[in-house]
Structure 1
Amino acid sequence: MITIHHLGRSQSERIVWLCEELGLRYRLVRYERDPVTQLAPPALQAVHPLGAAPVIEDGGLKLAESAAIVEYIIARHGGGRLKLAAEHPDFAQFLYWFHFSNGNLQPAIGRAMFMDRAQLPAGHPVQAAVQGRLARVVEAVETRLGEAPYLAGAAFTAADVMTVVSFTTMRFFLPIDLGPRPNIRAYLQRIGERPAYRRAMAASDPQR
């Protein structure tokens, strides 16, 4: 059975959700953030040197990095489900959006968070550049979801598992105004109706 080391209110919820979608049994070990700093507890460093989540244990294997974990679980335990084969017409879209979250969306949100905490004066060029980048990244998602119901295309895939946390759980750290983003809002509603997603959120962050 896979053990998932999960930090509350973090991207490690992706792994819980993935296991629920694939119908895999898992053991969940939860960690809470420091109430003042919102940082991960020292106990996570005993699990992995980076002291961050997610981390999984599978037999004698210990693996970190959410994208790597998602690919590993799909390949080793998921029978290749929730990913598209190379011959699928949407294969390139799947690859792009699977990597988009950690390659563009999460970094853009992270930079905006740091700039917000730095409290730079209004109109500061770095602040403007960071906010502009975030707006373009979010608009890319909005545009894509106007073309297809899910990021890879017609089918729900691991690209969606990787992306949703940026618009849901990350709101606790940096709210993004989705008022002018009807496609993203409709997408999140579709995701929220998935039984596996509901089970995953109840297990990973029951207090939110």
Structure 2
Amino acid sequence: MLIVHHLENSRSQRILWLLEELGVPYDIKHYKRDEKTNLAPPELKAVHPLGKSPVIEDNGKVFAETGAMIEHILDAYGPGKLRPQAGTPAFDKYRYWLHAAEGTYMPPLVFTLFVNRIEAAPMPFFAKPIAKKIANSIREGYLDHTMKAQYDFLEAALANSPWLAGGDITAADIIMSFPVEAFSSRGKSDGYPNIAAYLMRFQSRPAYRRALERGGPYALLK
């Protein structure tokens, strides 16, 4: 039985959704975040040295990294499903978005999270204006224009098809769901009608909803 080591409020929700789309039986081992630090518990290091989630175990082997897990699951359990035929233009789009999710879209979102936390952290009153100035400089100098370019590109990619690789959902849409949800949760999706429709489209899928039921309450990056 495939086991998903699932950390609450994390990107491992996408692995549950993938398995639900494929109809693959799996078990979940749930982990809670530390209430003070919001970090993963040390128990995850017993599964993988980096102590992060998602991680899966399948037939005695441990797999980490979301993209790598998706490829393993599709190879093992979903031949011909949730990815276009190799060598086609649709496959090229699929492969791009499969890697862009973590390589391009997630880093600025995570950086934004830490900038916001630094700005809001307890500190002497005289330090707050300095922290705010530094945070605003980072946003204006890098984050705002970087994320605008990325989501302008995503908006254009969704202009002529309902899914990122064409007319059918693929695993690329599943892995891109987290950056789309995180971006939208911050009120950044105004002016992006294609992204807003895309968000509603994948959140309404029965497999997505089943994954939420099994994974538990789900909050995005705060």
Report the TM-score, using the length of structure 1 for normalisation: 0.91
Does residue 158 of the first structure (1) align with residue 171 of the second (2)? yes
CA RMSD of aligned residues (A): 1.9
* Residue of structure 2 equivalent to 1:115: 115
Distance in 2 between residues matched to 1:75 and 1:162, nearest whole Å: 16
Distance in 2 between residues matched to 1:115 and 1:135, nearest whole Å: 17
Q: Which runs of 5+ in 1 are unaligned?
A: none
8 A Cα contact 2:212 2:218, kept in partner: no
After superposition, residues 57-206 of structure 1 pair within 5 angstroms as 57-119=57-119, 120-122=131-133, 124-128=136-140, 129-168=142-181, 170=182, 175-206=186-217
Amino acid at match of 1:50: L
Instruction: Please say which structure displays the higher CA radius of gyration.
Output: 2
Using the TM superposition, give the Cα deviation of residue 203 of structure 1 relative to its aligned residue in structure 2, in angstroms: 1.0
Identity of aligned residues (%): 38
8 A Cα contact 1:112 1:134, kept in partner: no
SS in 1 for 2:167: coil
Distance in 1 between residues matched to 2:35 and 2:84, nearest whole Å: 40
Using the TM superposition, give the Cα deviation of residue 41 of structure 1 relative to its aligned residue in structure 2, in angstroms: 1.0
Amino acid at match of 2:115: M
Using the TM superposition, give the Cα deviation of residue 138 of structure 1 relative to its aligned residue in structure 2, in angstroms: 1.8
Q: Which runs of 5+ in 2 are unaligned?
A: 120-130
**1:70-109 C-alpha deviation (Å, 9 max, x unpaired):** 0000001112311112232312111111111011111121
Distance in 2 between residues matched to 1:149 and 1:207, nearest whole Å: 25
Distance in 2 between residues matched to 1:4 and 1:69, nearest whole Å: 10
* Residue of structure 2 equivalent to 1:8: 8
